[in-house]
Structure 1
Amino acid sequence: MTDGLEADVERLDGIAERRDELAARVRTHAGEIARELAVLQGGDYGQETFDTDGGSWTIKYEAGDVQYLRFDPTSGSETYVVSSKQPPEPEALETAMADYGAFVAAYNEYVRSFDGLFADVPEAFPAVESTAELVAERDRIVDRVREVCDAMAAQLHRYDGEYGTYATTVSGTRWELKWDGDVASYLRIGGSNGTYLLSQYGPPAATDVRQFAADVPAFVAAFNDHVDDLEADLAQVSFGDD
């Protein structure tokens, strides 16, 4: 009589080897689907789910390669046919592979559903109107505003120091000029969240120029009144008997 220790042990090497070989083939084949989906969707990563009579298949891709392929059968537990972790169990892989052809057919049908998608898209488009004339006029007005504000900055520099701000109200709205030396850093209308008619970062919108340019003369007039008041105050200063 022999005990169990003397019985031959069935080896699983062959099953595991065939499982790994099949899983590798599926990864390569599903990788082609992943690349096609990436091209179609126009992104580096994403996922799609395809339904079959046997369940649903979800393929996730990144950088044009398959990240995982998951089979969720109508009955039973889900299986990661392709995964970055461990290979599937042989029985689960066998069950999934019985439905793999249906998955590929569902993918192919999905691609064919886009046939004729661009049939009604015109190949010719209307001519684009040029903004060159509008921009040139905008820039001409802004350049004139900058000349005036630079002249104001030079006077403020001479009287009030290297840099600072001058603010007044025009038509009920705050106008603020900041100067740095003899140059206007910005002309802002409407407070801290207002519109920059002049700035160091770029020209204003044409609509903003249209809205505020007409009030620039009033802003300059207010500045001139400010200068006149300063001159009047200085005229009253005396160092003794004249």
Structure 2
Amino acid sequence: MTDWPPADPTDATAIADERDKWVAAVRDHAGQIAYQLARLEGGDYGQRAVETDRGEWTVKYEAGDLEYLRFDPSRGDAVYVVSTKQPPEPGPLAEALADYDAFVAGFNDYVDSLDGLYDDIPTSFPDVAPTDGIVAERDRILGEVREVCDRIAAELHRYEGGDYGSYATRVADDRWELKWEADRASYLRVGGSNGLYLLSQYQPPAAADIREYAPQFREFVGAYNDHVAELEADLEPIEL
């Protein structure tokens, strides 16, 4: 049996400190690459791989900051030179650092390859066609629909009482529903709960939808008038 206690373990503090110094330096430098990538690719998140003779580097960024830098050597296991987890082992780190200059050169070559990318793009563009006419026509049609729906809402409010109500009928196999509040129409919807709002308190429908359903609005009004006529027929004269 050998003498006890054995020799003290070698102090690894110096090597660990040296490793941490290199990792910090690479983090600062590769962080500039991450920032440039974020600007170039126009997003908060992304990554790019750069190939070298010895392997492949992957730089990933988040919100413009370096998230990790990984080196995949042609032989051997990948090493995260910079990451949010534990630092790399000294041996794999040294192997990666030996190729770091090639990684930076590869990234610079990528950026240089984009130089002149926009040279042949014209700086003048065709005039944009105004939409004033079609918007005015849309607003005119919807304004007339709104006026009629408000009149219907006022009549239903007067007849049924209460502050809220609705009238629904079918036109061309579609369910049309007019929802009213007091004497004003809240919405006119075509096609059930997931249908198209021909009138609403939000944005107007698309031009194609107005083109399809506005002509059918006359049938909706006709159905309402028939509904009123039926109600009037139910009111028989009363003799005292």
The TM-score normalised by the length of structure 1 is: 0.87
Cα gap change, 1:74/1:146 in structure 2, threshold over 3 Å: closer, same or farther? same
Whether 2:36 is the aligned partner of 1:36: answer yes
The one-letter code sitting in structure 2 at the alignment partner of 1:51 is E
Who is 1:60 aligned against? 60
- Cα distance, 1:6 vs structure 2: 8.7
Alignment: residue pair count: 238
Q: SS of the counterpart of 2:234?
A: helix
Per-residue CA deviations over 1:175-231 (Å, capped at 9, x if unaligned) read 222222111111122333332221122322222222222233332233222222212
Q: SS of the counterpart of 2:212?
A: helix
- Cα distance, 1:150 vs structure 2: 1.0
Cα gap change, 1:233/1:97 in structure 2, threshold over 3 Å: closer, same or farther? same
Cα gap change, 1:221/1:6 in structure 2, threshold over 3 Å: closer, same or farther? closer
Q: SS of the counterpart of 1:71?
A: strand
Per-residue CA deviations over 1:49-92 (Å, capped at 9, x if unaligned) read 11111111111222222222111211222222122233322222
Whether 2:164 is the aligned partner of 1:201: answer no
Who is 1:80 aligned against? 80
Q: How does 1:1-242 map to 2 (within 5 A)?
A: 10-162=10-162, 163-234=164-235, 236-238=236-238, 241-242=239-240
The one-letter code sitting in structure 2 at the alignment partner of 1:56 is E
- Cα distance, 1:106 vs structure 2: 1.3
Separation (CA, whole Å) in 2 of partners of 1:185 and 1:173: 19
Separation (CA, whole Å) in 1 of partners of 2:12 and 2:138: 81
- Cα distance, 1:37 vs structure 2: 1.0
Which structure would you say has the larger Rg?
1
The one-letter code sitting in structure 2 at the alignment partner of 1:201 is Y
The TM-score normalised by the length of structure 2 is: 0.88
Per-residue CA deviations over 1:121-177 (Å, capped at 9, x if unaligned) read 221111111111211111112111111111111111111232222223334433222
Separation (CA, whole Å) in 2 of partners of 1:136 and 1:197: 16
Cα gap change, 1:219/1:93 in structure 2, threshold over 3 Å: closer, same or farther? closer
Task: State which drifts further: 143-152 or 109-118.
Answer: 109-118
Cα gap change, 1:30/1:231 in structure 2, threshold over 3 Å: closer, same or farther? same
- Cα distance, 1:102 vs structure 2: 1.2
CA RMSD of aligned residues (A): 2.3
Cα gap change, 1:4/1:108 in structure 2, threshold over 3 Å: closer, same or farther? farther
The one-letter code sitting in structure 1 at the alignment partner of 2:153 is A
Gaps of 5+ in 2: none
